[in-house]
Amino acid sequence: MNILLLGYGKMGKIIGEIAESRGHYIVAKINIDNIQELDSLIPEEIDVAIEFSQPDAAFENISWAINKGIPVVSGTTGWLDKKPAIAALALEKNTAFFYASNYSIGVNVFFKVNKFLASLMKDQNDYKVSLEEIHHTEKKDAPSGTAITLAEGIIQSNSNYTDWKLSGELNVNEHDVLITSKRIDPAPGTHIIRYQSEIDDIEISHTAHSRKGFALGAVLVAEWIKDKKGVLSMDDFLSF
């Protein structure tokens, strides 16, 4: 399979290594320094684009690929206010757009556990939920996309919560899921959900030991999405 890498930072490099180890060919490795190379690529020779760039570049990168009819697997966070426009464009161009805030299989199981626990705690009014996420200092956005997905899962599964807020924001109320973001090297990613009461605490957590789980998941999705159409997610890939 011929893969275009849109974004070639730490994640892009690991994705490239894993893809090549699985017998795939990297057509190009695009970053801010060689973005002009996109003009010389032949879209018909690209099976899929894997996009892990920066929040301020993601929308343009993904739009370019979808306008060329290239399926896109994206994992960049911090740009999701424009995601509906990308979804509409993918449907218009009859190609595939796959987005996940986290491609780790373990994290996606954790998403399900989080929703289940949130539903169990719906009638336990003595407990207050909070969320903590820890990432390396090079991560640009806060909170992480994974933290936002977890907060949204709580809101969907527990009617006591209606929104999420980042710690330190004004106008936080009892119906908000409060997220604390920490940037500590070399942490690749830790997410902790806490339900606290005067009597006890309930806590679930996921800790990544490296970026390899995220990268492998993205490559597996790229292999799966090749001949598909539409707007897809990890629920589709994992058949949750």
Domain architecture of the chain: domains with CATH:
2-103+212-238 (3.40.50.720), 105-207 (3.30.360.10)
Average pLDDT in the chain = 94
Residue located via tokens 């539409």: 230
pLDDT-derived band of residue 92, with 50, 70 and 90 as boundaries? very high
pLDDT tens track for 57-87: 999 999 999 999 999 999 998 899 999 999 9
Which amino acids are annotated catalytic?
Answer: 135, 139
Report the pLDDT value the prediction gives residue 101, as an integer from 0 to 100: 86
For the segment 29-53, the average pLDDT, to the nearest whole number, is 95
Sign of CA dihedral 9, 13, 14, 16: positive
Report the pLDDT value the prediction gives residue 169, as an integer from 0 to 100: 85
What are 192's two structure tokens?
A: 């902790």
pTM of the model: 0.81
- Please give the C-alpha separations between residue 151 and each of 61, 191, 224, in angstroms, as whole numbers: 27, 11, 28
Q: What is d(CA 65, CA 175) in angstroms, rounded to the nearest whole number?
A: 40
Report the pLDDT value the prediction gives residue 77, as an integer from 0 to 100: 86
Report the pLDDT value the prediction gives residue 53, as an integer from 0 to 100: 94
Report the pLDDT value the prediction gives residue 29, as an integer from 0 to 100: 97
Contact 234, 107 (CB under 8 A): no
pLDDT tens track for 145-197: 899 999 999 999 999 999 999 998 888 899 999 999 999 998 888 999 999 99
For helices 212-225 and 105-120, what crossing angle results, to 10°? 100
pLDDT at 240 over 80: no
